[in-house]
Structure 1
C-alpha cells in the first residue's frame, strides 16, 4: 500500500498554479501570491485512502529549471495546468508539455487542469469539452482525466487535488486501454475469475442473491430492489444493438454484462469501484494475486505439522458439492476442470498422480471422501499449496465482511469513453456499484484481506514424548513410507488402500507415488498417506533425515516368495541408520504363494524379535498379507495405531539391546555376590561363637539384643 503521494503542478507561467495551491489552503482567493508556493502537506483525512499527500508548486523558468526537472522525476502524479482563456497554454499541453515529460523518461499519471473558468463568458457543454480533450487523451495514454476549475471562485479546487490523488491510488492504465476504449486483457481475466467465484451455483450468471453477496463482500451494503432493477436496465440499455454475448440472461447478469458494468465505471471516472473489487479479491496493482493473499502468514513450529481445520473441510466440501453438477457424489474430469478454472493454468496442483492417488468411483471420478483425503495429504506435505488453492477457490472471501467508504462527488471529464455522459456527479439515489455513495466505509487496501489461516490448524508433534507438551490438536493425518525391493508389492499395497483392483501385470515405479484414504481406527476415521519412492529416488530421499520430518511410520515390505527380498530392506536399514528412530512395521507380501527361506543371517521373525518390536495385536512381526486375495490383515488400521502410539514399534538399536542385557547380567552378578557373602558371614559367625566359652557371658550381657537371633536356638539354650 502506497504511504505517500507526491503531486507536482506544472504548466506555463501565469496559468494559476500557485493560486490554485493558495486557494486550496486558505479557502479564499488571494490576488497577490508568491511566484512559487513552498511545498505543503495535506492532512491524512483528506485523502481517499488516508495517504500522506505532498503538493509541490513549480516554475520552469530561469534558475528554477534544474529544480523543476528534479521535482518532475520525484512526482507520483503531475497536474498540467492551463488557462481556459489562453488557447496557446492549452495547445502547448500536447505540443510541448506531454512530449517533454515523456522525454525525461517519466511514466506517471497526468491530469489536465483547465483554470480560470470564471473568465469564460459562456458555459462549455460537456460534449464540446470532450471533443476538445479526446485527441489529447487518444495520443497520450498517461492522461487520466481533465477537470475545469476556478481558483478565484473556489470552483472545483479541492476536486483538482482529489482527482490527482485518485490518479495514483486508482490508476487507469492497468485496467483500461484509452485508445481502444476497452478493458485490458489482464483486467478482463481478473474480473472473469471474480465473476466465476461469485457465481456460487455455477450456472453462468449472477442472480440477485449472488449480486447482493458480491455487493456485501466488496462494499458492505446490500442492494435494494430498485437498485437491482437499475442495474438490469442500465446493462440492457447500454448493450442493446451491440454484437457479442448477451449481457443478461433471464434477467440475471452474465459475464458480458459484468464486464460492461466495469467498463462503464471506468469510463465514468469511477475507477475506485473496480479497484475496490479487485483488492477485495486479493489482486494487487499489477492485477495478479498478492503474495500476502495467496500465502498468508502461517508458521509451523518445529516438530508440529499443519492439517485442515473444520472450516477448511467444510469449505472444500461446499466447493465439491457446487461443482458436482450431476449430483452423483463424484467429480468427473469435466467437473474438475470447471472447479479449477479460477486457479493458475486452470488446473489442479497434483500433476499426473491425480486422481490415481485417492479414492475414485468405477468411472474414475473423484468421490467426496477422495477429494477431502487428497487435500488432507496436500496440507500435511505442502501446506502452502493448500493455502494458495484455497485462495484461488474463493476462501476466505465468502465468510468475511468487507467495508467501504464513500467518496465525495465531483464534476469531472473522463477521457476513457465516447458519448457516455462523462460529466458526472454523485447522486444520493444512485446505487453503490455505480458511484460508491450508498456505502459507509471503505477500508484501506492493506486492511481488506483476512489471512486464510482459519482453514488450517496446527497438530501435535509426531514424537510421542512431546505430545503432552504441545497445546496443538491431535494428529488426524499420518504419513507412512513404504520401502522395499522392486517387485516386492509396494504399489499393490498403495492401490489396495484406495480400494483399486489388483493388477497382475508388474509395472515398475519410476517416480514418487502417494496414496491417501480414510481409515477407521479406534472408532474414528483418520487419514493414512502411503508414500513410495521411485527406484531412482529412494536413496536420495532417505539420505537426509530432515526429509522424514512428517513421517509417522515406515513399512518395510518384502516378498515372502523371493529369497533375496528381505536382505534388501536390512541393507537399507544399515545404509540409513536414522530410519531406526521411526516406528516400523515389517510386512511379508504375497502370502498366497509358497513361503521360502530368506537368504539372510537370520529369518525375518527372528530379525524383528532382535529389534525389540512389541506391536500390539501382532508382536514383533512380520505381518503376512496377500493383496491378490484381499487379505491385508488389518494392515492400515495397524499402521494408524502405531503411528498414533509408537510405543513398542520403534526398533531398539543392537547396542542398546546389548547394553540392556549387560546391565541385567551385572545386576544378577551383584545380587548373587551379596547373597553369597551374607550367607558365608552368617555361617562363619555361627561356627565361631558356638565353640568359645565366652559366648555365654556375651549372650547374657546382650540378651534380647537386635543380633541375638544370629546365635540360633542352641546358643540360647546354653545360656
Structure 2
C-alpha cells in the first residue's frame, strides 16, 4: 500500500491525444516545440503539424501526440474538430497579457462546453519570464474562482518556454489527467471518494481479505502490494502504513490488521496528495476501466442466439445466489430489507434494481423485504432481459466461476413446439387487453399487491415476476409483461415481436361487451402476426372482473370464439375477490406445452387448407409417377426376357 511509481495505464488507452488551444500569441507553438525538442525555437511556424513527444518522457510510457491549433476565425471549424477528438485540452494564456487570462472564462471554457468537449482541461500560463513581477498575484488567487466555475479544469500551471520552466510538466499533467483522471474517483467539492470508487475498493478489499475476518493482515497486505505494484512491503513499511492510518483514524486498524475503513482512508489520502496513479493502478490490476466498471474482457462475451432463444441462470449460479441471500439476511427473517439488499450490491457500481423494470417487479413482504423467491425471480428477470448485465453484477457480488458458467441459452421455441414440450425454467408471458380490462390488477396480484379500485392507465410496458409452484414440487419462474393497448400496433411492426414470448394472455372485462370485442380483435391481430412470421405462441383468454355480472351474450360469444380458434375457453378471475382460478399455474402449464393452445385465424385455416390441397395433389402426381416408373421397369424386364428367349 506504499504505492510507488506506477506503470499502469487504462486498459483501453494506448495513446493520448492532447490538443493545445488559446488566443493568438499566447505561446502555444513555442510550448510544444520546447517540450518535444528540449530547446526554445528561434523561428516558430504559425501552426505546427501533429507532434509526438518522446515515449520515455513520462513514467507511464504511453505515446503522447500534441496537436497545435490556430485561433483565427477562418480556422474555427478545424479547431472545433480537433477539440472534439481530444483526450485532454491544454488552454494557454500569456502571463504578460491579462486579457488572455480573462478570455479563458469568457470564451474558451464556455466554447468547450458548447462543443460538448468533456475531457480534462489543463490551464497553462505561458511566458512566465515576461510577467511584470510588480503586479504579480499568486496563481491560486487568480485561478480559484475560475476553477470553482469550471470543474473540468484539472490543473493550473505557469511555465516559460524561453527559460525552460515547467514545460514537460504541462504535458505530464495533461497525460496524467487522461490516464489517472480525478473525476471518477474523487468529489473535489465534498473532498470525499465518490460512491462508485468506494464500491470498487470495497470489492477489492473483500477479494484480498482471504480469511474473511474483515481486516487485511500483514501477509494479506503484502500479497496485495505484490499483485498491484510487483514489489513486497518491508515489515517497517507495513508498520508505517498502519501507524499513519491509526493516528488519523483509530478504527482504521484493529488487532487483525487494516480494516475496510482504513483501506478507504489510505486511498483518499493518496488522492488528496495528488497520487491518483496509486489508486488507478490498484483499480486496473483488478480489471476496472475509467468508468470504474469491470472491463469487457472480465465479463460475459456476447451471446450468440436466435430471437426465439432466451438466457437463464444455471443451477450453479442459482446456488451461489441462495448462498448470497443467506449471507446478507442478517436478521434471519427470510427476507432482505432495503438496507440488506443495498449491502448485497455494495460492491457493484450501483444497485441494478432501483429503476424500472426491476424496481417494483418482484413480491415484497409487508415490511418491504424481498423473499428468497423474490430475490431469485429478480435475477431471472435481469438475466432474461440483459444477460451481460446480470453476469456482470454476479461477478461484482462475488461469483468467482467462469462468467459463461453462470448462464445457459435455451432451446429454440419452434423446436420446443415440434418436441411438444419446453424445458425452460423461466417463461415470459405477454399480457394484452383493452384499457380498464384488468391487466394491471393481474400483474399486481401476481406479486401479492392489494387490489385497488382506482384506475391508473398503463403508459409504458411493465413487468412483474414470481416463482410458481407446480404440481410435483417443481418451481418455474414466470414473467408477466404488460403491453399497453396504445402501443400494440407499434409493437407488432417488428417481425421478431413475438419471438421472446412463451405464452400470450388476453384480458377482458367480462361485464363489458366492447372490452370482449376489443380483446378478440387483439387476439386475432397477435395470432395473425405469429402465423405470418413463424412465431406462433400459445394463447389464453382471461375473463377478468368475474365479481361483476357478465354481459348478456358473454358465454355464447366466448364459447364460439374459443372453439373457432381452437383454444381453451376464457378463464374467469376476480382480482377484487382474490379468486384467480389457478391462473398462474395454468399459464405456466400452457407455456410448458407450446404446441397446444395456439389459436388459428380464418386466414391461417385457409392457408393450411391450401397447403393441404397442394400437398394432396403433389402426392397424387407422385403416386402416378411411381406407377409409371414401375410399369416402365416391368416392361423393360419383360422385353429383355423376350429377346433372350427368342435368341
TM-score by length of 2: 0.59
Tell me the residue number matched to 1:127. none
Note the residue ranges of structure 1 that are not aligned, 5 or more in a row.
Answer: 24-29, 59-65, 81-88, 116-131, 402-449, 614-619, 669-719
Whole-angstrom CA distance in 2 between matches of 1:663 and 1:477: 35
- Does the 8 Å contact 1:212/1:222 carry over to 2? no
Aligned length: 545
Distance 1:362 1:231, change over 3 A: same
Tell me the residue number matched to 2:267. 262
Whole-angstrom CA distance in 2 between matches of 1:353 and 1:272: 37
Query: 1:198-220: CA deviations, max 9, x gaps?
Result: 56599x99621798699489838
Tell me the residue number matched to 2:228. 219
* SS of structure 1 residue aligned to 2:466: strand
Whole-angstrom CA distance in 1 between matches of 2:465 and 2:541: 19
Whole-angstrom CA distance in 2 between matches of 1:513 and 1:19: 62
Shift of 1:21: 5.4
Query: 1:141-190: CA deviations, max 9, x gaps?
Result: 76859899xx9xxxx9999976674355335577679xxxx676585344
Shift of 1:328: 2.5
- Does the 8 Å contact 2:225/2:233 carry over to 1? no
Whole-angstrom CA distance in 2 between matches of 1:79 and 1:159: 14
* SS of structure 2 residue aligned to 1:646: coil
1:650 aligned to which of 574, 598, 620: 598
The 5 Å alignment of 1:74-89 reads: none
Shift of 1:583: 0.9
Distance 1:665 1:602, change over 3 A: farther
Distance 1:541 1:173, change over 3 A: closer
Distance 1:597 1:35, change over 3 A: closer
Whole-angstrom CA distance in 2 between matches of 1:474 and 1:185: 54
Tell me the residue number matched to 2:479. 529
- Does the 8 Å contact 1:7/1:164 carry over to 2? no
1:459 aligned to which of 388, 410, 431: 410
Shift of 1:275: 3.1
Distance 1:295 1:46, change over 3 A: farther
* SS of structure 2 residue aligned to 1:517: strand
1:327 aligned to which of 332, 353, 368: 332
State the Cα RMSD in Å. 6.6
The 5 Å alignment of 1:307-318 reads: 307-308=312-313, 313=318, 316-317=321-322
Whole-angstrom CA distance in 1 between matches of 2:554 and 2:32: 94
* SS of structure 1 residue aligned to 2:429: strand
1:368 aligned to which of 369, 372, 388: 372
Tell me the residue number matched to 2:290. 284
Tell me the residue number matched to 1:53. 64
- Does the 8 Å contact 1:460/1:467 carry over to 2? no
Whole-angstrom CA distance in 1 between matches of 2:257 and 2:97: 44
2:516 aligned to which of 537, 561, 569: 569
- Does the 8 Å contact 1:567/1:600 carry over to 2? no
Whole-angstrom CA distance in 2 between matches of 1:283 and 1:289: 6
Query: 1:332-363: CA deviations, max 9, x gaps?
Result: 234335556678897833569855x4344565
Query: In the alignment, is residue 478 of structure 1 matched against residue 484 of structure 2?
Result: no
* SS of structure 2 residue aligned to 1:602: helix
Whole-angstrom CA distance in 2 between matches of 1:213 and 1:322: 28
Whole-angstrom CA distance in 2 between matches of 1:16 and 1:513: 59
- Does the 8 Å contact 1:553/1:639 carry over to 2? yes
Whole-angstrom CA distance in 2 between matches of 1:632 and 1:206: 49
Shift of 1:649: 1.4
Query: 1:420-457: CA deviations, max 9, x gaps?
Result: xxxxxxxxxxxxxxxxxxxxxxxxxxxxxx9x887655
The 5 Å alignment of 1:164-179 reads: 165-166=175-176, 168-171=178-181
Whole-angstrom CA distance in 2 between matches of 1:478 and 1:278: 39
* SS of structure 1 residue aligned to 2:475: strand
Tell me the residue number matched to 1:445. none
Tell me the residue number matched to 1:438. none
Tell me the residue number matched to 2:215. 207
Query: In the alignment, is residue 582 of structure 1 matched against residue 593 of structure 2?
Result: no
- Does the 8 Å contact 2:433/2:507 carry over to 1? yes
* SS of structure 2 residue aligned to 1:541: helix
1:302 aligned to which of 283, 301, 307: 307
Tell me the residue number matched to 2:395. 395
Distance 1:506 1:270, change over 3 A: closer
- Does the 8 Å contact 1:557/1:588 carry over to 2? yes
Whole-angstrom CA distance in 1 between matches of 2:592 and 2:184: 53
Whole-angstrom CA distance in 2 between matches of 1:525 and 1:629: 26
Tell me the residue number matched to 2:503. 553
Whole-angstrom CA distance in 2 between matches of 1:133 and 1:666: 89
Distance 1:218 1:7, change over 3 A: farther
Whole-angstrom CA distance in 1 between matches of 2:214 and 2:388: 27
Distance 1:77 1:478, change over 3 A: closer
The 5 Å alignment of 1:173-252 reads: 187-198=193-204, 207-208=215-216, 215=224, 219=228, 226=235, 229-237=239-247, 239=248, 247-248=252-253
Whole-angstrom CA distance in 2 between matches of 1:336 and 1:8: 48
* SS of structure 2 residue aligned to 1:395: helix
Shift of 1:573: 2.0
Whole-angstrom CA distance in 2 between matches of 1:515 and 1:7: 51
Tell me the residue number matched to 2:135. none
Query: 1:355-382: CA deviations, max 9, x gaps?
Result: 5x434456552111111112322443x4
- Does the 8 Å contact 1:303/1:549 carry over to 2? yes
Shift of 1:528: 1.3
Distance 1:97 1:643, change over 3 A: same
Tell me the residue number matched to 2:629. none
TM-score by length of 1: 0.54
Tell me the residue number matched to 2:644. none
Shift of 1:330: 0.9
* SS of structure 1 residue aligned to 2:194: helix
Tell me the residue number matched to 1:41. 52
- Does the 8 Å contact 1:298/1:453 carry over to 2? no
- Does the 8 Å contact 2:503/2:537 carry over to 1? yes
Shift of 1:11: 10
Shift of 1:305: 3.4
Shift of 1:652: 1.9
Note the residue ranges of structure 2 that are not aligned, 5 or more in a row.
Answer: 1-11, 70-74, 113-120, 129-137, 148-152, 528-535, 617-647
Whole-angstrom CA distance in 1 between matches of 2:41 and 2:258: 54
- Does the 8 Å contact 2:431/2:506 carry over to 1? yes
Shift of 1:630: 8.7
Distance 1:93 1:600, change over 3 A: same
- Does the 8 Å contact 2:215/2:260 carry over to 1? no
- Does the 8 Å contact 1:183/1:263 carry over to 2? no
Tell me the residue number matched to 1:705. none
Whole-angstrom CA distance in 2 between matches of 1:57 and 1:596: 79
